[in-house]
Structure 1
Amino acid sequence: MTPVPAPISKRKGGRPVRRWRFTAVLFLGLCALSSYPLAILFANTLLSARSPATQADIIVILGGDGPARAAQAARLWQAGMAQKILITGDGDCYWIRKSLIDFGVGAGSITVECQSRNTWENALFSSPILQRMQVRKAILVTSWFHSRRALNSFRQIAFNIQWQSVPVEPDVPIWRIAVEQDGVQIFKEYPKSLWYMLRASLWKDHGERDARTFAAGMLA
């Protein structure tokens, strides 16, 4: 007699396969859906960092949300908060530079660092440039929900500089943010922040000597 195939949700020994996987995916999906509104609701408290804008040596813009960050940096420059601007990050680095010039920022005031691929590298690659410029006080411009992680990274690596965070502020209600692209970016910011906290701890113990070596090589 021809053997009857086992049900698709079973494998040899009777253990469920697809049913178990479906249950696990469903559970994780429900957890994500329930935590998403809370992540958006508490983002301003947990993810943002702001400082009063006072005069500094330079404005540092992180690549990413180019149009909004370029506009914010241009406003600060035009208000006389700093005479120089450093753009850091690959991708839209040169586009931000062009936007700043279109906003009226003098081309000679702009320096670019277009190699860094993430926030940690933004700080790492910018540090020797800022040392060469003898910067003592800097304003950091990024998106509001990215500002705490960015500020902590720059303070950790470029620790001899006094940092201010003057981020791009949200221009829509929180419920709109939740259903737009920024909502996804905010949700992803939480695990990134946890990883950067661990990375900063490891850096404090083992990385400062490497940072000085890296900076020395960049300055040579």
Structure 2
Amino acid sequence: MLAAAALAAIAVFVLYLCLVALAEPLLTVRDAFARTDVIVVLGGDGPPRAAKAAELWLAGLAPRILVSGDGDCLYIRDAMIAAGVSRGAITTECRSGSTRENAQLSAPILARSETASATLVTSWYHSRRALASFQRACPRIDWKSNPTEPPPTFRGAAFSHHGPAIAQEYAKTVVYAIGDLARDIEATDKPTGWCAGEPA
């Protein structure tokens, strides 16, 4: 009995290490630097995301930044201002509590300004699911992904707060994909506006 439990524990640990090792190719989307209309930075892991968005803005990637997400929304704004971003360049959406809500509540803001292109900033392992959510919410926008960098070592990814977050991200990605498929099956027509739910 103990031997079986030990083997099961070893198998789970090996699976965990494999999931972490595959996070960059499976969960990450990283596009080349390209100028866009706006940078959309998501809340949830504030300091590195704020630093990345500020770095991109200071490099001239986009003139505007939209911060989306409750919790650390204002922290991200203030951290970017402290890093040199103009306060007037930042818009905040501080109500969304999930990746899907980030996209849904950002959509009206992006539609009003007729945003044609946008760069999404989030954690590296979160970038594929986040990008899919925003592409679904605003399909007429040309979306780019420029996420934070992973830790420099495998140990840093596997044995830090990143590890459990990566493992959870696989499950969330599957749940979101199933949910999107179910919505596609139920949908009678496709949105015709700038973003989903926006009038044509």
Q: Same fold (TM over 0.5)?
A: yes
User: Stretches of 4+ moved more than 4 A in 1?
Assistant: 22-31
Which residue of 168, 177, 189 maps to 2:169?
A: 189
Q: How does 1:36-75 map to 2 (within 5 A)?
A: 36-75=16-55
Q: Is the 8 A contact 1:97 1:110 kept in 2?
A: yes
Judged with a 3 Å threshold, the aligned counterparts in structure 2 of structure 1 residues 94 and 33 are, in CA distance, closer, same or farther, namely same
Q: Deviations over 1:113-133 (max 9, x none)?
A: 111111111111111110011
Cα deviation for residue 206 of structure 1 reads 3.4
What does residue 131 of structure 2 align with?
A: 151
Structure 2 counterpart of 1:82, from 56, 62, 75: 62
Alignment CA distance shift 1:86-1:30 (3 Å): same
Larger radius of gyration: 1
Measured against aligned partners, the alpha-carbon deviations of 1:172-215 in whole angstroms (never above 9, x if no partner) come to 20122111111110111111110111122123333555x844x4
Equivalent residues, number = 194
The 3 A distance-change label for structure 1 pair 23 and 188 is farther
Question: Pick from 101, 105, 118: which aligns with 1:121?
Answer: 101
Supply the RMSD in Å over aligned alpha carbons. 2.2
Specify which of 137, 144, 159 is matched with residue 164 of structure 1: 144
Q: Runs of 5+ in structure 2 lacking a partner? A: none
8 A Cα contact 1:153 1:200, kept in partner: no
Does the CA contact (< 8 Å) of 1:62 and 1:88 recur in 2?
yes
Question: What TM-score, normalized to structure 1?
Answer: 0.81
What letter is aligned with 1:197?
A
Structure 1: tracts of 5 or more residues without a match: 1-18
- Counterpart Cα distance in 1 of 2:42 and 2:140: 19
% identical equivalent positions: 41
- The one-letter code sitting in structure 1 at the alignment partner of 2:140 is N
Letter in 2 for 1:111: T
